Amino acid sequence: MSGTQPADGRVEIRGPVELPARREDVELRTADGLTLVGELALPVAGDPVATLVTLHPLPTAGGYMDSHILRKAAARLPALAGIAVLRFNFRGVGSPRGTSEGSFGDGETERHDLDSAMAFVRTRGLPAPWLLGWSFGTEVLLKHGRDSGLAGGILLSPPLRRTSREELARWADASVPVVAIIPELDDFLRPPEARERFAVAPNVELVEVAGGRHLWVGEEQTYRVLTEIVARLNPAALPLPTRWPAS
């Protein structure tokens, strides 16, 4: 673990700092016969209180399991909030962890990737799996996640480019909480349009973030996103500490 060392000897939690966790390279097997690569991060001691299953941004625009919000969630939340974090590369996507088999499916065949992740969660007995989609990952979540056994859904910067009105409307009677985090300065979907588009699913909670941008660059924006995640999965862990050890 590395980072800025304040006078009190604690590490400032920011940027690439990776807090203690049990980290395991995993492989997911899809129903159409592909092997996907990923990582599971668990709290060092005890069982997790909830599970975050992450769906990364658009592969053709550089999205992968190490996209910074997802990497920082895995680096911090097992230690700070007792949350298990499962990250994986969609089909055809590579990262330092390795390359998943297959090729980009434009949000359609990725339904098998989502299903394989949730099957892994069930096999491992991981609790309360929340799906976190970011950008393209929200399209996969909205298209294919409703009946996946999720405990809840978080839509981070949803572009709603591949999700039809009918697909979105299917969430109107979802029995689990769903929250959409909408940056004020998003490149694709800003709050006024989001309010219009999500009107077909009024049970989806809209969180509009002043000054927020699609990529959530910078520690202040990262902290806001991680806080919104923890507020749903383990609110007792808030506020998130900014130094480690936390006390």
Q: Give the mean pLDDT of 32-54.
A: 98
Location of structure tokens 């909205």 = 142
Fold of 11-244: Rossmann fold (3.40.50)
Of residues 9, 59, 6, 11, the one with CA closest to residue 244: 11
Residues 149 and 16: their CA atoms lie apart, in Å, by 32
Residue 5 has pLDDT above 90, yes or no: no
pLDDT at 246: 83
Of residues 76, 79, 74, the one with CA closest to residue 41: 74
Q: Give the mean pLDDT of 1-15.
A: 71
Confidence of residue 7 (pLDDT cuts 50, 70, 90): low
Residue type, 126: L
The C-alpha angle with vertex 63 and arms to 142 and 163, in degrees rounded to 5, equals 20
Residue 8 has pLDDT above 70, yes or no: no
Structure pTM? 0.96
Q: pLDDT tens across 147-165, in order?
A: 999 999 999 999 999 999 9
Residue 4 has pLDDT above 60, yes or no: no
pLDDT at 191: 98
Location of structure tokens 């509009």 = 208
Confidence of residue 61 (pLDDT cuts 50, 70, 90): very high
Confidence of residue 247 (pLDDT cuts 50, 70, 90): confident
Q: Give the mean pLDDT of 15-42.
A: 98
DSSP state string for 119-144: HHHHHHT--SEEEEEETHHHHHHHHH
Confidence of residue 84 (pLDDT cuts 50, 70, 90): very high
The pLDDT mean for the chain works out to 96
Residue 2 has pLDDT above 80, yes or no: no
Task: Collect all residues with Cβ–Cβ distance below 8 Å to 185 and sequence separation of at least 6.
Answer: 211, 212, 213, 214
Inter-residue contact 189 to 159 (CB < 8 Å): yes
Q: pLDDT tens across 177-225, in order?
A: 999 999 999 999 999 999 999 999 999 999 999 999 999 999 999 999 9
Residue 113 has pLDDT above 90, yes or no: yes
Confidence of residue 1 (pLDDT cuts 50, 70, 90): low
